[in-house]
Structures are given as C-alpha cells and as structure tokens.
Amino acid sequence: MAEWQNPNEDWRGVDVSQIRALLRLSVEERVKHMVDVANVFMSVRQQARLVGRNDSR
C-alpha cells in the first residue's frame, strides 16, 4: 500500500469506516449528525476568512 493511501478506503476511495460508523447510529442520530455537519460547513463558509500567508521566507 502506498504511503498516501488510507487503509480504510475501499477500491472506490471511499472511507468505509465512516459509513459503518453512520450505520451504527439510529436514523434519528444519523440525520442529526449529518445535519450538524452541513450546518458547520455553512457556518465556516460564512465566517471564515483568509488572514494571510504562512510565508516563512
């Protein structure tokens, strides 16, 4: 396996451990989790801003 490869990924490159973790949840828990994820993404997009470069020259 190459150094950059994720051992949890199947042949499509999908992290199966994430799918299994979601399937262990009830539908209600799973939906709540994924909705929270979506809302975090939206919040980050709305609030985050680039403040400069990490220029070590």
Q: Which residues make up the interface to other proteins (CB under 8 A)?
A: 10, 12-16, 18-20, 22-23, 27-28, 30-32, 34-35, 37-39, 41-42
Least distance between other proteins and beta carbon 9 (Å): 9
Check if the beta carbon of residue 16 is closer than 8 Å to that of residue 9.
Answer: yes
> Which residue, 38 or 55, is less far from other proteins as judged by CB?
38
Instruction: Measure the CA–CA gap between 57 and 51, rounded to whole angstroms.
Output: 17
> Which residue, 27 or 51, is less far from other proteins as judged by CB?
27
Instruction: Measure the CA–CA gap between 42 and 46, rounded to whole angstroms.
Output: 6
